[in-house]
Amino acid sequence: MTDETQQTADPRSEEPIVETDVSESVAGTGRGGPTRTVVEARDVDVYYNDVQALDGISLAIPENRVTAMIGPSGCGKSTFLRCINRMNDLIDAARVEGELRIRGKNVYDDDVDPVALRRRVGMVFQKPNPFPKSIYDNVAYGLEIQDKEGDYDEIVEESLKRAALWDEVKDKLHTSGLDLSGGQQQRLCIARAIATDPEVLLMDEPASALDPVATSKIEDLIDDLAGEYTVVIVTHNMQQAARISDKTAVFLTGGELVEFDDTETVFQNPSSQRVEDYITGKFG
Ligand SMILES: Nc1ncnc2c1ncn2[C@@H]1O[C@H](COP(=O)(O)OP(=O)(O)OP(=O)(O)O)[C@@H](O)[C@H]1O
């Protein structure tokens, strides 16, 4: 990483961002060679009141790749995910220290509007949470609240296609999103998240409430989405992390990041006994 930065206007962002020359922090991954860093954590600590949940996290998340966060329950995976779009701001007890940069700009700087940030960083949760609205309105919702210009019919169709749901719902767009199956609801939530064209897509255990067939569809979808989005996924399922991610971050108890590397390396040649014990199921 160099200190040289340049101002660029990101067409998908309302505010100018500082883009860092990341040529030296290029992440080579299995999904087609080198890429740029989009999200970079520098020495991030998170506390809930006096209890420390994350301890000195530093890592660089590559563009248009899938990065998985794995680790035992309570090690801080979701907390880290929520640092990226400042969802921890909504938790009174939470305090974040350190820097969380997106394309070089610290999202905790005073001049960053968290609402604008969350437009650039979409999120999909564990439990599908469509609004009690029609399928169409679920996807169009983000466009409406942002007063986005454009042909909504076209954007809704495109988003549903990208979320691999269009064929199943194209004849019932004006029925309730709540009438879909769990797996379809989750793909609807993904369509809703991508309709506003975010740069980063955060997914917090997006398949853990789904059956194996629906899970497999979500995994295929994540693989496809990585062509266009930078995906960061929290998962409890190590096979899933191994199947779908390019990079894997292993968090262990105490909120420590103990390994961050290409997924293949983490699973085939872990750097420490602790990580090996975790991924081979000896604990956690
Ligand atoms: N809102 C909160 N208030 C207080 N403590 C919290 C809050 N959210 C999380 N914590 C604590 O922070 C630590 C990390 O929690 P977090 O949910 O980030 O872990 P996780 O690795 O995502 O766990 P899981 O896999 O079980 O979802 C835990 O000790 C948890 O109890």
| CA 64 to centroid of ligand 1, rounded, Å | 27
Q: 252 CB under 6 A from ligand 1?
A: no
Ligand 1 in reach of 49 Cβ (< 6 A): no
Strand partners, 261: 248
Alpha helices of 212-272 — where are they, by DSSP H?
A: 212-225, 238-244, 263-268
Distance from Cα 197 to the centre of ligand 1, integer Å: 29
Give a yes or no: residue 51 inside a domain: yes
Provide the CATH number for the domain around residue 149. Answer: 3.40.50.300
Residue 284 resides in a domain: no
Q: For residue 204, report the distance from its CA to the centre of ligand 1, in Å.
A: 12
Domain encompassing residue 130? 5-279
Ligand 1 pocket, 119 CB below 6 A?
A: no
Look at ligand 1, atom 2, and give the residue with the nearest C-alpha: 48
Q: Across the chain, what does the average pLDDT equal?
A: 88
Q: Rounded to the nearest whole angstrom, what is the distance from the C-alpha of residue 155 to the centroid of ligand 1? A: 36
**Measured distance CA(160)–CA(142) in Å, rounded:** 14
Number of domains in the chain: 1
pLDDT value of position 192 = 95
User: Distance between CA 197 and CA 222 in Å, rounded?
Assistant: 15
ipTM above 0.90, yes or no: yes
Q: Among the atoms of ligand 1, which is closest to the Cα of residue 75? A: 21
Task: Report residue 204 as tokens.
Answer: 């917090």
Taking the centre of ligand 1 as the mean of its atom positions, its distance from the CA of residue 80, in whole angstroms, is 10
- Pocket-testing residue among 57, 77, 81, ligand 1, by greatest number of atoms within 8 A of Cβ: 77
**Of the given ranges (142-146, 154-158, 168-172, 247-251), which has the lowest mean pLDDT?**
142-146
Specify the ligand 1 atom closest to the Cα of 71. 21
Q: What pLDDT, on a 0 to 100 scale, did the predictor assign at position 284?
A: 59
Task: Please name the residue whose Cα sits nearest to atom 25 of ligand 1.
Answer: 73
Residue 210, domain member (yes or no)? yes
Q: What b-and-e string marks burial along 82-106, b requiring 16 or more CB atoms within 10 Å of the CB?
A: bbbbbbbeeeeebebebbbbbbbbb
In a 3-state reduction of DSSP, which class is residue 273?
A: helix
Q: Give the global pTM.
A: 0.88
280 CA → ligand 1 middle, Å: 23
> Going by CA atoms, what residue is nearest to atom 5 of ligand 1?
48
Residue 105 lies in a domain: yes
In a domain, 14, yes or no: yes
pLDDT beyond 50 at 108: yes
Q: How far apart are CA 15 and CA 105, in angstroms?
A: 11
| Closest residue to atom 12 of ligand 1, CA basis | 53
21 located within any domain: yes
Residue 236 alpha carbon, nearest atom of ligand 1: 25
* 59 CA from centroid of ligand 1 (Å): 20
CA-CA distance, 97 to 81, in Å (whole number)?
15
Cβ burial of 150 (10 Å; 0-12, 13-18, 19+) is exposed
Using the atom order of ligand 1, give the atom closest to the CA of residue 205: 27
The pLDDT > 90 percentage for the chain reads: 77
pLDDT digits (tens, 9 = 90+) for 174-215: 999 999 999 999 999 999 999 999 999 999 999 988 899 989
pLDDT digits (tens, 9 = 90+) for 29-76: 456 678 899 999 999 999 999 999 999 999 999 999 999 999 999 999
pLDDT of residue 17: 37
Which residue's CA is minimally distant from atom 23 of ligand 1? Answer: 74
- Tell me whether residue 186 is in a domain: yes
Q: Residue 32: how many CB atoms within 10 A of its CB?
A: 12
